[in-house]
Amino acid sequence: MSAQGTSSAASAVALAPHRVGAMVLRYLYLLRSSWPRILELIYWPTMQLFVWGFLQLYISQNAGFFARAGGMFIGAVLLWDILFRGQLGFSVSFLEEMWARNLGNLMISPLRPIEFVAALMIMSIVRLAIGMLPVSLLAIAFFGFNIYGLGLALAAFFANLILTSWSVGILVSGVLLRNGMGAESLAWTLMFVLMPLTCVYYPVATLPYWLQLISWSLPPTYVFEGMRALVITHEFRADLMAEAFALNALYFTAAVIAFLALLKSARRQGSLLQSGE
Amino acid sequence: MPAEPAIAVDQLVKVYGATRAVDGISFALAPGSITGLLGGNGAGKTTTIAMILGLVMPTSGSAKVLGAEMPRQRYQVLHRMNFESPYIDMPHRLTVRQNLNVFGKLYAVADLSGRIADIAGQLELSEFLDRPSGKLSAGQKTRVALAKALINQPDVLLLDEPTASLDPDTADWVRERLERFRKQHGATVLLASHNMAEVERLCERVIMMKRGRIEDDDAPVRLLTRYGRQTLEEVFLDVARGRGEAREAAQ
């Protein structure tokens, strides 16, 4: 790579906090201006919680194992929502720019791609907090399940799940940049491919052997297995968390590289000005 | 020694599949100049501007802004440039003040609240500052877009149809503000437009494009003389319909 090429690549990943802050401010202004947007963040996790919570309650009254493993389903629901809502929080903030036809303004501003991504990551946590904090309190009130009782394990679960959600969000945003709004459905559906494979509600051993191999290549699988180990045997599996972190580091790096490559391809295709279908 | 051009385009080509949207154009714009880019639909004006902005990567050739090659060295100069077009919007739900605040922060504008008050005064936006941008009329939205384009007091300003869909009075008002900004700040302005009166009034040089190529490039007065026409619109029609060469040959 030439010296100029190197400096160009370096400037693309240089990060200025004031520009990240400007983008976060832009999304906070948007959230503040629209109560339906805030309500939507809380609505679906709450529905999920009640459906799975009452199901767990019913089963635990009739089966000894589930009575001992109280909170397994509710824990799974809450952790799945961190994964799913984390990605949605990232992707929806990105989609807001495309819906508003504002991407051209941002792309000709000094905002670096990596600053844009950093702002979207911060917003995914903000949106997640708005949705999950009330729902976690409802879980305590209605089902006596205190996710914060997981302590340090919760921090490890959260960090791994949010890293995976960002990797998926970054990849989807790159595809949207390259292909326009025609790829919007990916933002809403891609994560559901992971749902059966990451074994949210059942152990990995339930899957056929060849699917288990795929399942163990996905970081959330380690989190859900770790959660079940904690709830059922009260054992924190640090080894599972370490493996998940290693896989997440790999996928996150790959997602950022793919995003930058798709952005470059969008510049080649001329799709940054026309962000329609 | 002549000053380095603010914008230098050299043998610029952009190919999309089988279409040559821009076909080997070259021009250089002096600092502080105002130039019109004229051409019919599909002439390559917007693609040319997009390459100068670094939004589109050229197939070959180069576009330099303030000495930086676009898009490779864009971060050296993007803070000194800006752009306005009716084809991109400001977020509708944010108020005018919130939008200007966000873009002012992105461009690291010093004393931002003072600058917003100043530009709102100049563009007569003060009474709309706390209104959502999406609830403004077309003319008001254009003024907000212009305020965003001028928020960082750019050295290079690119405008794509800045007065499209405006009534004649508002369009004239916008032109007057643009002229004033250029004179006060010595900015280089490149303006793509279909509006001949606008180009005639504002521009000291006109580049006429057709099918991705430059068909003519001169001062408006000299174009009128050379084509033997009364208005730039007639010159434009001659170029668009391929009568330019025939007319010049006949003369």
Structure tokens at A252: 């996150």
* Assigned domain for A137 exists: yes
* Assigned domain for A148 exists: yes
Residues of A in contact with B50 (CB under 8 A): 270, 272-273
pLDDT at B209: 93
Q: Of A121, A149, A101, A147, which Cα lies nearest the Cα of A24?
A: A121
B residues 120-139 near A, CB within 8 Å? 132
B93 and A103 within 8 Å at the Cβ level: the answer is no
A112 and B75 within 8 Å at the Cβ level: the answer is yes
Q: Dihedral of CA A206/A210/A211/A213: which sign?
A: positive
Question: How many CA within 13 A on the CB side of residue A110?
Answer: 26
* Assigned domain for A44 exists: yes
Rounded Cα distance between A154 and A79, Å, is 9
In sequence order, the β-bridge partners of residue B210 are: B213
* DSSP SS3 for B38: strand
* Distance to chain A for B18, nearest Cα, Å: 13
State which amino acid sits at residue B169.
D
What is the secondary structure of A170-203 as a DSSP string?
Answer: HHHHHHHHHHGGGGHHHHHHHHHHHHHHTTSSS-
Tens-digit pLDDT string for chain B (251 aa)? 567 899 999 999 999 988 999 999 999 999 999 999 998 888 899 999 999 999 999 999 999 999 999 999 999 999 999 999 888 888 999 999 999 999 999 999 999 999 999 999 988 899 999 999 999 988 889 899 999 999 999 999 999 988 877 778 888 888 888 888 998 899 999 999 888 888 888 899 999 999 999 999 999 999 989 888 888 888 888 887 776 555 555 55
Touching check for A241 and chain B: CB below 8 Å? no
* Assigned domain for A2 exists: no
* DSSP SS3 for B158: strand
pLDDT tens per residue across span A116-157: 999 999 999 999 999 889 988 998 898 888 888 888 898 999
B residues 137-156 near A, CB within 8 Å? 148
* Assigned domain for A9 exists: no
* Distance to chain A for B217, nearest Cα, Å: 26
* Assigned domain for A135 exists: yes
Tens-digit pLDDT string for chain A (277 aa)? 344 444 455 555 578 999 999 999 999 999 988 888 888 888 888 888 888 888 877 777 776 666 566 677 888 888 999 999 999 999 999 999 999 989 999 999 999 999 999 999 999 999 999 988 998 899 889 888 888 888 889 899 999 999 999 999 999 999 999 988 888 888 899 999 999 999 998 999 999 999 999 999 999 999 999 999 988 888 899 999 999 999 999 999 999 999 999 999 999 988 887 654 4
Task: Please tell me the pTM assigned to this model.
Answer: 0.89
Rounded Cα distance between B226 and B248, Å, is 7
A272: closest chain B residue by CA: B55
* Distance to chain A for B230, nearest Cα, Å: 36
A105 and B94 within 8 Å at the Cβ level: the answer is no
pLDDT at B171: 83
Q: Of B65, B53, B57, which Cα lies nearest the Cα of B12?
A: B57
Ordered by start, the domain boundaries in chain B are 7-87+154-218
Candidates 3.30.365.10, 3.40.50.2300, 3.40.50.300, 3.40.720.10; CATH matching B7-87+154-218: 3.40.50.300
Domain count, chain A: 1
The complex's ipTM?
0.89
* Assigned domain for A38 exists: yes
* Assigned domain for A5 exists: no
